[in-house]
């Protein structure tokens, strides 16, 4: 049995968008994302090293199977059932890192970020190879505007989850908020290579649009917003893009007018 936990990609992305909206972040202040039920699949293992950690070896098979059931309940959106399973694991195996990791995700789902951070840190203390926990900590730090600090766990997550789109996507956002355009572009390029579905491709197109806004290139920003909508018309990022296009229209028109006025006369 593969007992590794998984990155809850779509769910964590929606939580990030909702949180950034709640705290008034400039890039996502128009967010229409909601904390919906957990989506389809948990797509990436907590580590891609192909090895099993000492902590997992010391956890009983019964506990690991219960963690797996809890993860499945999370996939299906049955948070109460997931919590019940994890409570059983932690009572029987109080040092099971994967159980703390799932507990952290449950808290994150409920918006209990302090509790989630504590659980993710417990996970890392018990088993430093669980990549999901670093991603969770990174997202929580970003929600608190601590972008430079967030890059530390995200960088650590990358060593365990080198092919996980979410790690590069969150790193791109953090770098953008810090004003590091070159690092943002680098992370976006990695994310684009790993964007296997329309929502991820739409998300990376949206970040490219945000980069263009930061550079005050409103024409390129509009093109990237249009691409965001085209890729995934019914997605969360399409809704963000539609709102942002309306916001930058006056700036785009002003820029075009300025160019026309400064155009050399024949």
Residue 6: phi, psi to the nearest 5? -130, 160
Residue 45: phi, psi to the nearest 5? -70, 165
What pLDDT sits at residue 226? Answer: 95
Q: Which residues of the chain have pLDDT under 70?
A: 1-52, 57-58, 253-266
In this prediction the pTM is 0.78
Residue 259: phi, psi to the nearest 5? -65, -40
Cβ-proximal residues to 209 (8 Å cutoff; 6+ apart), any chain = 220, 221, 222, 224, 225, 228, 241, 244
What pLDDT sits at residue 250? Answer: 81
What pLDDT sits at residue 2? Answer: 30
Query: Is the Cβ–Cβ distance between 44 and 168 less than 8 Å?
Result: no
What pLDDT sits at residue 146? Answer: 92
Options 3.90.190.20, 3.40.47.10, 2.60.120.330, 1.25.40.10; CATH for 9-177 is 1.25.40.10
């Amino acid at each position: 049995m593969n007992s590794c936990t998984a990155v809850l990609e779509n769910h964590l992305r929606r939580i990030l968008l909702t949180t950034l909206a709640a705290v008034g972040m400039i890039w996502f202040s128009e967010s229409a994302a909601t904390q919906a039920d957990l989506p389809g699949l948990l797509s990436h293992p907590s580590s891609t090293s192909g090895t099993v950690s000492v902590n997992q070896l010391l956890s009983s098979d019964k506990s690991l199977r219960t963690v797996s059931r809890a993860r499945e309940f999370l996939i299906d959106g049955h948070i109460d059932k997931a919590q019940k399973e994890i409570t059983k694991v932690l009572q029987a195996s109080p040092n099971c890192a994967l159980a703390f990791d799932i507990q952290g995700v449950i808290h994150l789902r409920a918006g209990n970020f302090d509790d989630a951070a504590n659980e993710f840190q417990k996970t890392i203390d018990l088993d430093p190879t669980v990549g999901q926990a670093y991603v969770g900590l990174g997202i929580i730090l970003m929600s608190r505007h601590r972008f430079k600090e967030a890059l530390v766990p995200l960088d650590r997550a990358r060593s365990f989850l080198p092919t996980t789109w979410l790690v590069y996507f969150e790193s791109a956002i953090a770098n953008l908020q810090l004003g590091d355009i070159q690092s943002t572009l680098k992370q976006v390029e990695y994310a684009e290579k790993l964007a296997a579905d329309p929502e991820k491709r739409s998300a990376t197109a949206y970040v490219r649009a945000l980069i263009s806004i930061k550079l005050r290139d409103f024409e390129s920003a509009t093109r990237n917003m249009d691409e965001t909508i085209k890729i995934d018309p019914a997605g969360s990022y399409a809704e963000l893009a539609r709102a942002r296009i309306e916001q930058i229209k006056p700036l785009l028109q002003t820029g075009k007018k300025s160019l026309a006025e400064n155009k050399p006369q024949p």
